[in-house]
Amino acid sequence: MYIYFMKKVGIIGASGFTGAEILRLCASHPDLQVEIAAADSMSGEKVSNLYPGLSAEYGDLVFAPTNIQTFEDCDLVFLCLPHGASQELVPHLKDTIEYLVDLGADYRLKDQSLYPLWYDAPHSNPHLLSDFAYGLPELFREEVKESNLIAVPGCFPTAATLALAPFVESGSIETKRLIVDAATGVSGAGRAPKENTTFCTVDENFTAYGLLDHRHTPEMEQVLSQKTTEEVSVLFTPHLAPMTRGILATCYAQPTVNMDTDSALEVLTNYFEKEPFVIVDERAPSTKATFGSNVAYLTARVDPRTGYLIVISAIDNLGKGASGGAIQCANLALGFEETKGLPTTGVTP
């Protein structure tokens, strides 16, 4: 007689927005059961008090302190922490937890020398960087399937690399002068209050930030470099938009082959035709269409006047750009159907 057991899930950093989104998605997942939701800043508080929308599923769940020993019975742990925090925990977790999925930046970059340059501190355990698969299944599915240590991409790199990788891989664009302009919702800044994310600052406002030095830049270059033998450089400018969730990335490149709008759309369509979470359409994508889903929406244009290729990508920064992408990776690593527990429709209106 076959006895079925759900996989036991632990979340570290569960009180943040990505942790809360993991909780929401696990509530609808038939094979994942949250056992521990750790959050030192909220330890002892009910999850439902912080996030009333999770009350129906987690009415009695209490945020626990981050005690490594309490996770020993978990099959899978999601790390939803600020940069630097996962570096301290992973060496202690990896030998007792079968699967670790890190939503932070600590194990995304493979070159340890990039951490002091972009994150202002050396990596504390660089020997583990090569052990982590980069968790973007549309580009690195086999690596994710075969790994029990997964680093989920940043939200901006998810949107930008999905848009540009098909053209980089086909050798149809100049890779040294890629431009990415992207707008994000305020939830990308995290739950902690900040002066630049208060309602009065953000409402009816649109600002650029991280000029020339945003930390997602080397991540984009790393991913795209794996799809070509050519040198890759990206000029990335993020913008903060007065919305809660969503990313809209507009990417510019110079074609190296004869290309028009129809052929550019064909490149995207052929590349992603079997992908359950990528929609290619002639219509310009919108962030509202992605709200609450794990789907990326893409379109492309070639401007006959300037010759530039424009590729536009829209995702939910907390969905496909973080927690949804993390669940997608966990599904693959655990041998589940890749789409299990993941919504493919946005919330409308």
The predicted-structure confidence for 225-251, as pLDDT tens digits, reads as follows: 999 999 999 999 999 999 999 999 999
Is residue 251 among the annotated active site residues? no
Residue of 92, 96, 125, 98 lying closest to 106 (CA atoms):
125
The predicted-structure confidence for 313-338, as pLDDT tens digits, reads as follows: 999 999 999 999 999 999 999 999 99
* CATH C-level class of 155-317: alpha beta
Provide the token pair at 115: 């951490």
Domain boundary assignment for the chain: 7-131, 155-317
Q: Where are the beta strands (DSSP E) in the chain?
A: 7-12, 32-38, 76-79, 99-102, 133-134, 149-151, 178-184, 207-208, 234-240, 247-253, 278-280, 296-302, 309-315
Q: 8 and 35 in contact (C-beta within 8 Å)? A: yes
Cα distance between residue 292 and residue 274, in whole Å: 22
Give the global pTM. Answer: 0.96
| DSSP SS3 for 44 | coil
Q: Phi and psi dihedrals of 311, rounded to 5?
A: -120, 130
What does the pLDDT profile of the chain (349 residues) look like in tens digits?
A: 455 579 999 999 999 999 999 999 999 999 999 999 999 999 999 999 999 999 999 999 999 999 999 999 999 999 999 999 999 999 999 999 999 999 999 999 999 999 999 999 999 999 999 999 999 999 999 999 999 999 999 999 999 999 999 999 999 999 999 999 999 999 998 888 888 899 999 999 999 999 999 999 999 999 999 999 999 999 999 999 999 999 999 999 999 999 999 999 999 999 999 999 999 999 999 999 999 999 999 999 999 999 999 999 999 999 999 999 999 999 999 999 999 999 999 998 8
Q: Phi and psi dihedrals of 346, rounded to 5?
A: -85, 165
Catalytic residue among 74, 80, 155, 251: 155
CATH architecture for segment(s) 7-131: 3-Layer(aba) Sandwich (3.40)
Rg (CA), the chain: 20
